[in-house]
Amino acid sequence: MDDAPALALAPCAVLPEHQGRGAGSAAIRAGLDAVRDLDENLVIVLGHADYYPRFGCHPGLPVRRAEAPDDTFLALPLATSHPTPTGLVR
């Protein structure tokens, strides 16, 4: 983000025949828990605007990506002990 590294949660995909059983949600929660254990304070995700907010991800933070529509570029601040990074994601 700008000149600093940032963590990204890649879009999660589950084969259609296995969807609706919680596998994707479990993978995302496990990934976010691992990030919290690292004391990171921001995760960004380019993904479905109706899916990722259930994990606390939302648009509207001062984080942006030039090529992404605002409703699909989401962020999740994690640690309140330091300021949330801001800037352009490349």
- Give the pLDDT confidence of 34-52 residue by residue, as tens digits: 888 887 778 888 888 888 9
* pLDDT of 19 strictly over 70: yes
Split at pLDDT 50, 70, 90, the class of 62 is: low
Q: State the average pLDDT for the chain.
A: 81
Give the pLDDT score at 64.
62
The H helix count followed by the E strand count for the chain is 1, 5
68, 24, 28, 12: which is closest to 88 by C-alpha? 68
Residue 17: pLDDT band (50, 70, 90) is very high
